[in-house]
Amino acid sequence: MNDQSLRGKVALVSGSSRGIGRAIALTLAEAGCDVIVNYFSNQAAADEVVGKIRAAGRRAGAFRADVSQRAETEAMVEAAQKEFGTIQILVNNAGITRDKSFMKLSPEQWREVLLVNLDGAFNLASRLLPGMVESKWGRVINITSIVGQIGNFGQASYAVAKGGLMAFTKTLAREVARKGVTVNAVSPGFIETDMTAAVPEDRLELVKEITPMGRLGRPEEVAIAVRFLADPRSSYITGQIINVNGGMYM
């Protein structure tokens, strides 16, 4: 897919300093996008991603913002658009977990997960969608999770947030389908990232056993699904959840 079919498009990928977001940012740049790399705490990692994108001949910039906070999101978008112009591709990737069994989960931890995963997507989409509609072309791609489809012990808040993101995807897709904007989601299974690195080895072995492919996924395998949905040739695909999970959930 190195055909540069996204050349001239500007993409914003939230939470793209590492892991799946990093892979998405690099893959979109490879396809021709200029990329706004959003990060919250790891500026060095964000700068490294920006450096790689610029070395490949595309424009890129690192912009710090806690996307769960409306004011910070507004300020980031304003600064990014001043430098890059209209953002036509939004990838809502930023997300956190606060894993605890439900009876041990505090109200603060519950709200924190929903704020980042759900409010973050709302804040960015509500800010960027008008520009996409005005230009009659846009892509919103939400990164959800297999946990939102099947549930998982100790992840009530995360499952609710990701399930909500899927419902948001389908509703938004219906609302903008005639305006040149598609809205889809990519739902990863268990992927090799910092998040899964914190999972005990015996639990990861169990995950591999119940996954038909017998392994964890790689961030690049999620990124290529995002790149596919962003492509102008994917214009008749909207409201869909693309599973990237090695067959764990079908």
Which residues carry out catalysis? 158
Q: Could you tell me which residues are beta bridge partners of residue 138?
A: 181
Count of C-beta atoms within a 10 Å radius of residue 54: 15
Structure tokens at 77: 């978008």
Chain centroid, CA 179 distance in Å: 22
Compute the distance between CA of residue 172 and CA of residue 129 in angstroms, rounded to an integer.
10
Contacts with 140 (C-beta within 8 Å, 6 or more apart), sequence order: 90, 92, 125, 128, 129, 132, 169, 172, 181, 182, 183, 184
Q: Tokens 């897919």 identify what position?
A: 1
Chain centroid, CA 215 distance in Å: 22
Question: Which segments within 118-230 are labelled E, that is strand?
Answer: 138-143, 181-188
Contact status, residue 216 vs residue 19, Cβ threshold 8 Å: no
